[in-house]
Amino acid sequence: MSRLYNFCAGPAALPTEVLERAQREMLDWGGLGLSVMEMSHRSDEFQSIAKAAEADLRELLQVPDDYRVLFIQGGATAQFSAVPLNLMELGGEADYLDTGLWSGKAIDEARRFGKVNVVASGKSLAYSSIASQDNWQISERASYFHYTPNETIGGLELFDIPSCSQAPLIADMSSTILSRPVDVSRFGLIYAGAQKNIGPAGLTLVIVREDLLGKAQAGVPRTMNYQLIADHESMLNTPPTYSWYLAGLVFQWLKHQGGLGVMAERNQRKAEKLYAAIDRCGLYGSCVDLSYRSSMNVPFTLKNKALDDPFLSGARERGLLNLKGHRSVGGMRASIYNAVSEAAVDALVSYMNEFDKQYG
């Protein structure tokens, strides 16, 4: 058995050390004679796993005390509805920044519950860039301001936290959370599906400032009501216990690496190497404006589409997996989340150089 280099956008690579530990604990966790998957979520043992995961996450992200951390199901997509249902009055209004496919999906869903004011859209630029925030059309009636700091598909990342709105700032951090330190206190609510940079699919993290709880619309399903979920310590119903446990192992792994400062440096080095290869070789191109190039998801094209298939099959032969770009963008995409090592990026870069020499 060998583990190859996996550049999948999601569900994405997990640290090998984490999977090895899960393997060791698979059949018998802590000498209890059963798997974490077979434990009651209300047992003392699972409670200790759950509490430790939350404590480690709080430490990694320096989550302030007046924020609650929720471990729930439904993916980031369920949050596209949960956010308006919890934070917008019936028929109310909210600001949304449109930077690509995922913000578009959040906008479409929010429109089902109230008025969406799109403060700016990158659509006419094929989502390669976005107007600077002085040009955003903020609504004074907005209950919140929603944006997607990293567009997983388009590869556009906003490195500065918007400061143009007085309304609570809501961020879909699915593909950027834990990639570097972030000032949580600037946000009203952060959410993220786990399967990019946290753990396996099935778990969604919500980090919400306490004063935003208790504002849900009357008809909100109980499983989507932040206040109820928080009151029940994320155990209103059965939580995704195994994903929660694995996320906890990832948090421990991140602490062991030296925390998010260390991850940020490593991630920056990885991204710089990859973009340098794209820019150096005549064969490759990147569509995203330089100042918005994502450090997690790197889409690139080959100058000649006929080379896509040879590039991908050559990559597979070298153990470089899942480099095919999203169907809406085409070309290639390398997702280089925390669990993708520098060695993986180095292997990809040397393959790109080699391929460029042969075909460029």
Ligand X SMILES: *Cc1c(COP(=O)(O)O)cnc(C)c1O
> What residues act catalytically?
102, 172, 196
Q: Is 196 in the site for ligand X (CB under 6 A)?
A: yes
Q: Is 148 in the site for ligand X (CB under 6 A)?
A: yes
Q: Is 179 in the site for ligand X (CB under 6 A)?
A: no
CA–CA separation, 8 vs 90, rounded Å? 38
* Contact range with ligand X by CB under 6 A, out of 22-30, 71-79, 274-282, 336-344: 71-79
Q: Quick one: which of 6, 117, 175, 243 contacts ligand X (CB under 6 A)?
A: 175
Q: Quick one: which of 5, 7, 10, 278 contacts ligand X (CB under 6 A)?
A: 10
CA–CA separation, 110 vs 262, rounded Å? 36
Q: Is 100 in the site for ligand X (CB under 6 A)?
A: no
CA–CA separation, 87 vs 214, rounded Å? 9
Q: Quick one: which of 99, 143, 165, 174 contacts ligand X (CB under 6 A)?
A: 174
CA–CA separation, 168 vs 170, rounded Å? 6
* 101-130: contacts with ligand X (CB under 6 A): 102
Whether the CB-CB separation of 81 and 111 falls below 8 Å is answered with no
When the beta carbons of 155 and 188 are compared against ligand X, the nearer one is 155
The distance of closest approach from Cβ of residue 132 to ligand X in the complex, given in angstroms and rounded to an integer, is 22
CA–CA separation, 278 vs 292, rounded Å? 15
Nearest to 154 by CA among 333, 343, 359, 342: 333
When the beta carbons of 175 and 267 are compared against ligand X, the nearer one is 175
Q: Count residues contacting ligand X (CB under 6 A)? A: 12
Name the residue whose CB lies closest to ligand X.
75
Tokens of 191: 């959410």
The distance of closest approach from Cβ of residue 294 to ligand X in the complex, given in angstroms and rounded to an integer, is 11
The distance of closest approach from Cβ of residue 108 to ligand X in the complex, given in angstroms and rounded to an integer, is 12
Q: Is 152 in the site for ligand X (CB under 6 A)?
A: yes
The distance of closest approach from Cβ of residue 49 to ligand X in the complex, given in angstroms and rounded to an integer, is 22
- Measured in degrees and rounded to the nearest 5, phi and psi for residue 334 equal -110, 115
- The three state secondary structure string of 228-288 is HHHHCCCCCCCCCHHHHHHHHHHHHHHHHHCCHHHHHHHHHHHHHHHHHHHHHCCCEECCC
DSSP bridge partners of 169: 145
Q: Is 75 in the site for ligand X (CB under 6 A)?
A: yes
Binding site for ligand X (CB under 6 A): 10, 75-77, 102, 148, 152, 172, 174-175, 193, 196
